[in-house]
Structure 1
């Protein structure tokens, strides 16, 4: 009887030792710090924000939600909204996601304005409505956001929006400082398309560094 107990103790000891060794051999999950505003802007601009949340093993879900829902920080409203839209680390809830994006846009987030405009232009999550897309892109473009200016001129070139605003959209994009050559080429193509819808005199005026409409 004692021999059986002794053998059992040896087996149990070997089992727990092997479990301990296996746990030690597995890499420990590193704690992840919440993103700074600059980091989050860069992630949004590069389109890698959802990839980063997944790469961080969804550790920041509660922090992101709190900064969105409780602190109501626009950039985190954007991020939490997109996580809800696409079901990243949480159950998908597009109605709540779009509502949060609109709230962030109302608070002045250019990133949210552009994203909502893209969804209305694409008809993704919402009814396709390029005219409404113009309304979201316009204030962000006026405040200097380059993606918004590109989107606005693209929409104008497709015939959406008011012709009275073409000059503004053209002027903002024409005079924008663009360091990326690919983006600059895209901008020039869109400007050429919009030129075809504008009188030559208005195009010349819009190309000046300072726009005077009167």
Structure 2
């Protein structure tokens, strides 16, 4: 399904089968060894649960840790990397599949099409941009897939405080704030993603164009 062509169909009866997760995380290792350990554990746990990985295709940082750990556990790992970043992010040569695409927009859309859900591990600006985009797509009804944060050692707590502030100030509706999954262990995260149920999208298919917009 192309995200740009149609809205998702909501199914509130069946649990999500997480055949493949899109993982967003840093091209650096970060300041704490906890991040590397958590990335390794997440990848191993996902593969053990029958969930494979799609990610940005790089060999460096936590991106590379996730890929290497999933491969070592016997998982299938698909990398999607734009031509401009093959050398900068050092495209991983040992993946099950490495797709080289023309640009970042196609990279993100391709990853979203391949994935049954999305999870962000610790990372920087790129990780934030990627996870917020797919969370926004979820709210707009462009997909009906779970979006989650793996909160390693409290990494995401400052961000969650900001999201709560946005909700209190009326810029994010409480029903959409609640759709964002946050867990501190890989098993709890995968279970929550499997059990997740979508909300109706922000904008109904037939809407009053004179109505005031609602906050995301």
Q: TM-score, normalised by structure 1?
A: 0.31
Say which structure, 1 or 2, has more relative contact order (CA 8 Å, 6+ apart).
Answer: 2
Task: Considering fraction of residues, name the structure with more helix.
Answer: 1
Q: TM-score, normalised by structure 2?
A: 0.31
Task: Considering fraction of residues, name the structure with more strand.
Answer: 2
User: Larger Cα Rg: Structure 1 or Structure 2?
Assistant: 1
